[in-house]
Structure 1
Amino acid sequence: MSDRLILLSNDGAQLNANVEMHERGLILHSRSGTDRNRDYRAALELLLSRLDQAQIVYRVYLDSRPVQGVNLSDRELSFDRMSPVGARFDELVRAMNKGSSSRGAWRRLLIETPGTGPARLREVAEGKSNIIRLPATDLRKVLPSHIHKAVQKLLDGGDAPNFAPSRDYDALTSTGIPLAPKKVFGLALEEALGIEAHPRHFSAGWGQICFELLEEAGLWIVPKKEGIARPKPSHVEITAELADLVPTDEERSWIEGNPKIASHLRRERHPGLAKEKRAQFIAEHGRLFCEDCKLDPVKLYGEEAGSACIEMHHHITHVAKMQAGHRTRMEDLKCLCANCHRVLHRKLALGLTVTF
């Protein structure tokens, strides 16, 4: 994303003012000549007003080239923060010209905003902090054709300037080219609704409409590993690997809803048994995790949903062999994630040796 900001007045007119992001906040470049940054005053007053409304703390420093080597504290410009922005502007001009014969020079300024992140600062400065999330009905107006057009635009070298490069996920095309999911969906949203899309219009992530529609359109959403996208697997290779897989009776009954597997689950989930085991396990280990693969679901999925990934496995007496009235002890149970639990039952059905 460019460091340059596009400032629009409250009535939508673009200002002729050079404002850019800085590691400490914002830079407002000086005005000179008849055309360079002619809306300097309007831009500064607009920025101060928007920072006030967003309750962002800021300091203003002279940042002209001759003083850039001077300590920042020695070039801070004082003004009455309680006065109207018009009066503040006049105070700042007097302060920036102090000790100079000039009284009307409007110089380069650094507006420092400690504690405010760049995304939030850009949003406030450009007047986009009032953008609200679009309802699901609007988001679902994005069709595969809109997404395909957005993909093609990005592949042809176009961009979605309102959206930053992806940090966590990639949307892979059929040829494995990684694209930023929010850029793709943002462009598709503009095409579908005829609006200028912004990040606050929608959320991206698993379970969100954005990812759902991107995948329905044929893109493959993958998490990045150290900034690198996971390669898309070959459909031919997957088909070949599955060709010789024969489902066990247990897997068939799971798919078909056979009462046998339902009975297994009802027995295994005896009221209070799983809850008591989880509590004992946490008391002993300080956290809940899979005893086979060591997955920590709370760390991965959050405290409220993570515990649902851990299931109880009877590793001493298997449920299928239990007699009526069987009593299960806590040490008979193992905490396993859903994947390891399914694989374990698969091994048991195939007569393979199971160890922990």
Structure 2
Amino acid sequence: MSYEKKRLAVPDMKVMQPVRLRAGSRKRIMPARGGRRLKNDCQQAYTPDDQCAFYRKHQRWQTSMTYQILNDDGLPMDSHAELDTSGITLFSRGGSTAKGNVSNAEYGPALRLLLRRIVSARLPFDRAWVDSLDVQRLPIEQRIILSSGELDAEGSSAFTLMSRRMKLVGQGAGRTGGNSTKKIRIQFAADVKLSELESALRTIQVQEDVRSAERLPAETFRGVTAEHVWNAVEKLRQPNFRHAYGPSIDFDLITNAEERFPPKAVFGLAATEALGYEILPKHFSGGRGTPCFRILESAGFAIVAKGEESRPIVVPESPDDRSWTEGKPRLVAHLRKERASGLAQAKKDWFVRTHGKLFCERCGMDPVVIYKGAHGAACIEVHHHSVQVEEMAESHSTRLEDLQCLCANCHRVEHRLLKLALNRRVDSVPLES
């Protein structure tokens, strides 16, 4: 039975392992042993319909091959595509001319040639749509850039239509500009033998790594905040949480509890929450100087090389803190939790998203107004208030809702009140006879 022709029976609760096969192969996809689940929220159950949808979504991966397009003189162009029996996926143009790292630089000329060759070979063109990751959340009907009957003999009119419509796909209301060199899918109305496609479209199969074509631009990740990073770390703390990222090789992200997590996994999960669609390892790179590491470090987390020891949080930081925590392990734990890696910035991001700005929850002081500028926000600190310190076990998991945003003065007052309350409890304990 071929997965190309019939709906497969799906084993319970397994993810199917994509495997690239030679053209024409009829090998069935089998479930990967211990495979990871597909959905972002790994606490959800998976129905048979979900898993059959996985087959339908990914089945062209199994027989698609990467090709380079030849010009009319038979010379390879800087343009790559995947071919399969049901259509063509043309990779987007990426990189920067200024930086000298452009990929698929001849996207436009290659698309013109493909359209003309599709008509010349009388291939059963059906429609074309934008297939870039950031718009895959939209129904295909909202991503169509060329329909059956709009493909002209020379492909020039169709190219103009596609370029104009491509800019509008995923574009917010009132926005202008847009990208006319996105990843697109050209779908056929009927299957075509791969050998016929190779000949008609004049392509050559390549073995080079073109994964960078699927990397998202750095500006895509500007919306990833410290709150998203904190939530990602909280997910990874759950023993049964599964994700699409492997163990780290060169670096570790360190928490205040000396936990070590793969930086790419943390960032990928944070970006998935921020952007609203699944971000996989192929969509960004890690390492020193990358947007991934810069965002993680700006969120308050340390990233160290494998085997390198972490730098512990220094507690207390002020003479007042030192005096009232001396000999009181629970109070030291209180300060450690308030100053946990990433926690303060995550709370502030959450607070701004909820209330629109930072202000002191005790006295109402707006630091931007008082200090006449955004720099005034530096005086807002984070205080743990929901759980009494004496009831807070060392393993207590802090939620952002458990915290308050206070100005520095009110924060000091809260600590003094906490000290007085604890001293009264100590004084009220009867001495043993």
TM bracket (short chain): 0.3 to 0.5
Q: Decide which structure has the larger Cα Rg and report it.
A: 1
TM-score, normalised on structure 2? 0.28
